[in-house]
Every structure is written in C-alpha cells, then in structure tokens.
A and B are shown apart, each in its own frame.
Chain A
Amino acid sequence: MSYFAFLSEHGPTMLLGTVTTIKVLICSTILYVIISLIFGLMRLSKNPIIQGTATVYIEFFRGTSLLVQLFWFYYVLPFFGLTLEAFTAGVVAIGMNFGAYGAEIVRGGVLAVPKGQWEGAFALNFTPAKRMRKIIIPQIFPIILPPAANLTVELLKATALVALVTVVDLTFEAKQINSITWLSAQCFGTALLIYYIISRFFLVPFLRWLEVLAAKKVGKEKA
C-alpha cells in the first residue's frame, strides 16, 4: 500500500483526531494560564496560609508524573463519587500539572519587574491591588512569555497522553489504525509529522507573535 493510498484511506480519521488534540490543547492552555497566574501570585503572598497552599500545590504537581495524575483523575476520583469524562479528566490533569510549572514562571516574572516600578507605585500611593493590576502585571508578560511559550509547546506534546485515558485524539487514532492495518511506520510517522506541523507552523509562530505584541505594548506604555 503506497503512502498516498494510506493517507486517502486513513487521513480523514487522523484529521478528526487532530481536531480533538487541538481542542485538548486549547482548553488545557486556558486552564493552565489561569492556574499559573493565580498560584504564581499566591506564592508571592505574605500570608503564610495562602503561600503555603500554593507551595504545596506546586510541589505536589511538579513532584509527581503527569501520567500518574491523569490516571488518578480518571480512575481514582470515581471512588470518591466524582466521575469525570475522559476529555475533562485529561484537560484538568494537564491544566493543573502545567499550571504548577507556569506558577513558578509567573513568580519569577513578578520578581523580575525592576524594583523602581514597585517604588514608583508606592511613591504614588497606589493601593497594593492597584499596584499589581496597573503596574506590575502588565509588565510581567514580556518577561514570562518566552518561558511560557516553551511550556506551551511541552503542553502540546503532553496532550498525547490523554489517549491513554481513552480520549479519541490523534495519538489514539494512530494507535487504532496501527492495530488494524499494522502499517506502523505510516501511521505513527504521520502522527509525528502532524504534531511537528502544529508546533512548528502554528503554535510557535503564534507564541512569537504574542511575545512581540507584549513587548510592543510595554514599550508603548513606557514612551
């Protein structure tokens, strides 16, 4: 069977899987961005309870493997009466895991904002909330976006794991087709290529564009 015959027969199935992969990617990215912002700021709180909660959360999710967390969410939570759909479990596990990594990036970004900005806001008698909202947070984006972009590419790769809890994504489809046709080189090769194309030609350019945008925005505000 030539490769083109393979593509025409199984290409549509794989594309369907790709759509699911992209859905998982988008949902878990949104979740991880929200979690990293919240826990990154909590980590910087002076209140020991808030800071402790964030530290425990971050260490817990960074200390165990994503696959273990994923299986825990999918197979163990039903024991406690909370049954998640495979898709939800996948998105929540990936989002919470990467949120822990992202929180550390956010923390680093806030600490990297020049001290003069803090002092300036203090001198202008801004309340702490206003200082964070108007001065510090807008400035962390150009600092945190490059490492966050790396993390997001990692997240795209991690979405492959949801196939193991029966989400019908690209990896799942590739495995299915492999078990029917035994054309392993074609189906896994195609899957690898699709992931590569998503990352190289869509995700990375988009993240670079965001970086440029964020840098420009801060530059404009400075002028």
Chain B
Amino acid sequence: MNAEWRWDFAIEILPQMLWATLNTILAAGIGYAIAAVVGLLFLLGQRTPIKIINMANREIVEFIRSTPLLIQLFFVYFVLPQFGITLSAWVCGMITIGLHFGTYLSEVYRGALEGVPKTQWEACRALNFSMFYTYRKIVLPQAFPIAIPGMGNYLVGIFKDTPLLSTIGVAELFHAATAVGGYHYRYLEPYTIVGIIFLTLSIPAAIWIRKIEKNVNLSQGKIKKEQI
C-alpha cells in the first residue's frame, strides 16, 4: 500500500459514488419527513392533559434519546423478524431514523410553541377565538420561524447520520464506498470522496440555515422593538 492518490481510480469510481449520493439524499429526505411527523406525535403526547400519557411519553422520549441510533437500527432490523414482521433494510432504517430524530424534533416544536409569548394566547382567549383558529392564525405563524433553525440543524444531522444505515445494508453513499474499497482493496480514494461529498453538501446547507436563523433573529428583534 502506498499513499499515492490515484486520479484515474478516483475518476473511475466517481460516477458510482455520485449515484449512491442520490440514495443518501433520498434516505435523509424520507427519514426527515417521518421524523417531522413523529415529532408532532410526541409533541401531542406531551401536551395532552392525561397524566399517564404524559409520563409514558417522557420516558419513551428519554429512552430513545439516550440510546445509540446504531443499536436501535440493529434492534429494529433483527428483532422485528422474530415477531414475524420482515421489513426491508430501507424501511427499517427509515422507521428508526424517524423515531430517533422525531424525539429531537418534538423538543424543537415544544421550544417553538413556548417561544410564543403568553400574552398572544391570552389575547386569543379574550377574543374568544376557537382553539383551531388560535393555532392556525396566531400561534403557528409565530412559532414556525422560531422552529426553523432547530429543524434545519436536525435535517443536516439526519443527513450526517445516514452512513449508519450502511451497517444494515442500505445501499447509500457510505455503503458504496465500502463496497468499492473492498473490491479494489483501496480505501483512500472512496472514503476521501465520501468526505468531500459530505462537506460539499452539508457546509452550504449549514450556511443557508445560519442565514435563515439570522433573518429570524432580526425579525424577532423587530417585533420586540415594536412592542416597546
């Protein structure tokens, strides 16, 4: 083995890697969509007035948040077949990522709802708005900008955790790199290309999120000025 970077090899495997990148992006997108919905469910569980559901919800969220995604993946992938449910690696991966990041997103949602000033709720109550109208017209439009940075960060977070899916055999970017590396017994180029692809996708995303965050902070600052 020598440290020489072989351009011909890198260019040879590049199309394969780019193709697998599409799978990674797809996995991140689907996982994020599921996580966004699961997060809403956890938020509902948290805000229902029934105490037992609240407590169960909190324990479940705590458990999912403090155990590694990797073992959760193995658990879903290997244990469900024991109960007669055989799912493909893709489906298992998406479910697990959705559940895992759903707990994080529910916290983002909670923070956003609590970020809406209490006076807004009281004003709605005073104006006799229905609950639905209160959420749709008053609370959610104000909560959404608060949630954007957190939601964006977890989108990038999910994207960076998709390589874990390769451990259960989802054919995404990292899986492709390992396969190519194993076939040619050269890991330098595949893994380096994976790193570069991740950088070129996640740094612009992070910059974009920071920009949105700045805009949100600005608009919130404006609101505060007007209130004074």
Contact = CB atoms under 8 A, between A and B. Distances in A.
Interface in B71-105: 71-72, 74-75, 78-79, 82
A43 to B, nearest CB: 15
Contacts of A69: 195
Given A79-B188, A80-B3, A65 B66 contact: no
Interface string B170-209: 0000100010010000011001101100110011001000
Nearest to B4: A79
Nearest to A189: B75
A164 B73 CA distance: 14
A1 B71 CA distance: 22
A71 B71 contact: no
B203 A63 contact: yes
B174 A76 contact: no
B160 interface: yes
A81 interface: yes
Nearest to A194: B67
Contacts of B194: 68
Nearest to B167: A164
A64 B71 contact: no
Interface stretch (A84-92, A111-119, A120-128, A170-178): A170-178
Contacts of B119: none
Q: Chain B: interface secondary structure?
A: helix
A78 B161 contact: no
B2 interface: yes
B67 A79 contact: no
A157 interface: yes
B69 interface: yes
B70 interface: yes
Nearest to B207: A59
Contacts of A34: none
Contacts of A23: none
Given A64-B195, A188-B78, A75 B181 contact: yes
A2 B2 CA distance: 52
A192 interface: yes
Interface in B27-81: 62-63, 65-72, 74-75, 78-79
Interface string A57-79: 00110111111110110011011
A15 interface: no
B1 interface: yes
Q: Chain A: interface secondary structure?
A: helix
B225 to A, nearest CB: 21
Contacts of B71: 160, 171, 174, 188, 191-192, 195
Given A63-B198, A184-B82, A192-B72, A157 B67 contact: yes
B191 A153 contact: no
Contacts, number: 115
Contact of A184 (B1, B78, B160): B78
B20 interface: no
Nearest to B166: A67
B34 to A, nearest CB: 20
Interface string A182-201: 00110011011001100110
A27 interface: no
B164 interface: yes
B103 to A, nearest CB: 12
Contacts of B79: 184-185, 188-189
A72 B193 CA distance: 11
A68 B174 contact: yes
Given A65-B198, A76-B188, A79-B188, 16 more contacts: A63-B202, A64-B160, A64-B202, A68-B194, A71-B187, A71-B191, A72-B192, A75-B187, A79-B1, A157-B68, A159-B68, A171-B70, A174-B71, A184-B79, A188-B71, A189-B75
12 contacts: A59-B203, A64-B199, A65-B160, A153-B66, A159-B68, A174-B71, A184-B75, A184-B79, A188-B78, A195-B71, A196-B63, A200-B62
